[in-house]
């Protein structure tokens, strides 16, 4: 089972908007050296919505090739077209990804039955471990626990990234799904709470700029050391808040650029962090001991 701090990796870009392959390699080494337990490539934080189809597949392949099995690689392959999600998932498997992350179909707002059949079709089409991803704040569509519980019984579906921030819902999922089904947090402010309830890790935005601390929180939480986990998490709590002052990944890419991890470049329709918020993010980096 994949556990721990799983960074929702940004996709570094040059100032002209092209993917910065050198910086991507450097980011991977940065995270492995810092103790990150796994890398999620081309999820929402990786700007999957604005990468071309080939760019999407190529980033996954580059991450897999650079990691060389040192940590698990989870490829974001979700789409609001079942056919496209199947194709991306197949390409991720061919690239050597360890698992795939499949977001609830966005915009077209399927019914619970539609979501069930969507994920069922992917699980039957591609033999690779698959993690569901429920983030209603981005998709305008909420996959209910009842649907997740049904899907947990299907082959290849091994877990869910729950980005609702609702610990009661997360607790119900942990208690109602098989022991080999992993519930991961997708919400940094409540991730520690979910792990202490039995969650298996945190697919984290904050880990992009504070990888060692996020990894330590996960390690302590998974060991059941709540007191020390809370102490470490408190130190990076300002980042959990500041990195969402504008829609993700706007703040985290700006923060990463301040640390020299990438250029301050993001693709339209997303724009760089608005000036009124820049001091807030910088102050959070300083308060968390990440920047001076």
- The torsion angles phi and psi of 159, rounded to 5 degrees, stand at 180, -175
Q: Is 45 annotated as a binding residue?
A: yes
**Are 8 and 208 in contact, with CB atoms under 8 Å apart?**
yes
161 labelled catalytic:
yes
Helix (H) or strand (E) holding 157: strand 157-162
120 labelled catalytic:
no
CA distance 90 to 144: 26
CA atoms within 13 A on the CB side of 184: 28
Q: How many CB atoms lie within 10 A of CB 289?
A: 11
- Catalytically annotated residue among 93, 161, 200, 253: 161
Return the DSSP state at 154: S
- Catalytically annotated residue among 106, 133, 200, 253: 133
CA distance 116 to 93: 22
Nearest to 34 by CA among 174, 175, 217: 217
Give residues with Cβ within 8 angstroms of 132, minimum separation 6: 102, 104, 119, 143, 148, 151, 157, 159, 160, 161
Tell me the catalytic residues: 133, 161
Residues in binding site for pyruvate: 45, 203
Residues in binding site: 45, 203
């Amino acid at each position: 089972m994949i556990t721990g701090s799983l960074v929702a990796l940004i996709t570094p870009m040059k100032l002209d908007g092209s993917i910065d392959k050198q910086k991507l390699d450097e980011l991977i080494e940065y995270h492995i050296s810092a103790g990150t337990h796994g890398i999620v490539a081309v999820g929402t934080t990786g700007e999957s919505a604005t990468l071309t189809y080939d760019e999407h597949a190529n980033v996954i392949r580059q991450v897999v090739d650079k990691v060389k099995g040192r940590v698990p690689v989870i490829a974001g392959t979700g789409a609001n077209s079942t056919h496209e999600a199947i194709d991306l998932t197949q390409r991720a498997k061919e690239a050597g990804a360890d698992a795939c992350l499949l977001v609830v179909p966005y915009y077209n707002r399927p019914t619970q039955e539609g979501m069930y059949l969507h994920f069922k079709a992917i699980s039957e089409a591609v033999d690779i471990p698959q993690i569901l991803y429920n983030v209603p704040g981005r998709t305008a569509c909420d996959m209910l626990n009842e649907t997740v519980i049904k899907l947990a019984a299907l082959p290849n579906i091994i877990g869910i990234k729950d980005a609702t921030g609702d610990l009661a819902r997360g607790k119900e999922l942990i208690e109602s799904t098989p022991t080999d089904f992993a519930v991961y947090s997708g919400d940094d402010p409540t991730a520690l709470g979910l792990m202490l309830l039995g969650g298996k890790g945190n697919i984290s935005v904050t880990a992009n700029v504070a990888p060692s601390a996020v990894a330590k929180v996960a390690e302590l939480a998974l060991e059941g050391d709540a007191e020390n986990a809370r102490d470490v998490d408190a130190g990076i709590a300002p980042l959990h808040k500041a990195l969402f002052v504008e829609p993700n990944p706007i703040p985290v890419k700006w923060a990463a650029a301040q640390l020299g991890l990438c250029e301050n470049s993001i693709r339209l329709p997303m724009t760089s962090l608005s000036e009124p918020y820049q001091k807030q993010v910088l102050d959070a980096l300083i308060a968390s001991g990440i920047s001076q």
